[in-house]
Amino acid sequence: AQSVTQPDIHITVSEGASLELRCNYSYGATPYLFWYVQSPGQGLQLLLKYFSGDTLVQGIKGFEAEFKRSQSSFNLRKPSVHWSDAAEYFCAVGAGNAGNMLTFGGGTRLMVKP
Amino acid sequence: NAGVMQNPRHLVRRRGQEARLRCSPMKGHSHVYWYRQLPEEGLKFMVYLQKENIIDESGMPKERFSAEFPKEGPSILRIQQVVRGDSAAYFCASSPLPAGETQYFGPGTRLLVL
């Protein structure tokens, strides 16, 4: 069965600093990979996705992620964090019987210091 | 194009009552997914439906929970005889195609069982 691990439950960075959120997955085939962001009390917004092709994918709000098959990782990065980026970030892999059940990691809560 | 709509946004029930959660997918989307988010946890897949069909219900509890997506109208997640452990946020997502396609999430229904 597929699984997703986000090793960091909480991360605090200063505004303007760079950010990297880690995501490791376990899946037998080529995965579909996603990063979503959730603000408090809100639903999930898609940041970016990887299906195939270029392993470095660009998303919204200045985020990017790199798929590394050898490390089973799909880490999310941003060169300069803004205070409005404070939220919870979820990595997910698409799998399942019909190939479209999303399995989520436990999430990483990002706090931004002024 | 309106996004995924869920109602109610908040629902309070006493133990033993029934909860009905509604989800209207994005226009043109015929695939609906339900996920549950317990406090301080990531989202867990419950069920995947197409119009009038349940495709994958591997994440649904065996008792008290049911889901439908009729030919006309919204998808319904029904929880009978609710218990305190059912308190959670329930998210619906939709996609235009199956396997691997991006899922777009609604704002969620937050169920509180007293």
Predicted confidence (pLDDT) at residue B5 exceeds the cutoff of 90: yes
Q: In 3D, which of A58, A74, A72, A81 has the Cα closest to residue A26? A: A72
Q: What is chain B's length?
A: 114
Q: What is the pLDDT of residues B39-77, one digit of tens each?
A: 878 899 999 999 889 988 999 999 999 999 999 999 999
Q: In sequence order, what are the residues at sequence separation of 6 or more whose Cβ sits closer than 8 angstroms to the Cβ of residue A11?
A: A19, A21, A108, A109, A110, A111
* pLDDT (mean) for B89-98: 88
Chain A touched by B91 (CB under 8 Å)? yes
The percentage of chain B sitting over the pLDDT mark of 70, rounded to a whole number, equals 96
Can you read off the two tokens belonging to residue B35?
């996920």
Rg (CA), chain A: 14
Q: Which residues of A touch B56 (CB under 8 A)?
A: 96-98, 101
* Distance (Å, whole) CA A31 – CA A49: 11
Chain B touched by A44 (CB under 8 Å)? yes
Q: Where do runs of H (alpha helix) occur along chain A? A: none
* Region of poorest pLDDT, from A7-11, B34-38, B41-45: B41-45
* pLDDT (mean) for A6-15: 96
Q: What is the pLDDT of residues A48-95, one digit of tens each?
A: 999 888 899 999 999 999 999 999 999 999 999 999 999 999 999 987
Can you read off the two tokens belonging to residue A82?
């803004």
Give B42 to chain A, closest Cα distance, Å.
Answer: 4
Give B97 to chain A, closest Cα distance, Å.
Answer: 9
Test A98 with B41 for CB contact under 8 angstroms: no
Q: In 3D, which of A77, A71, A38 has the Cα closest to residue A57? A: A77
Test A101 with B105 for CB contact under 8 angstroms: no
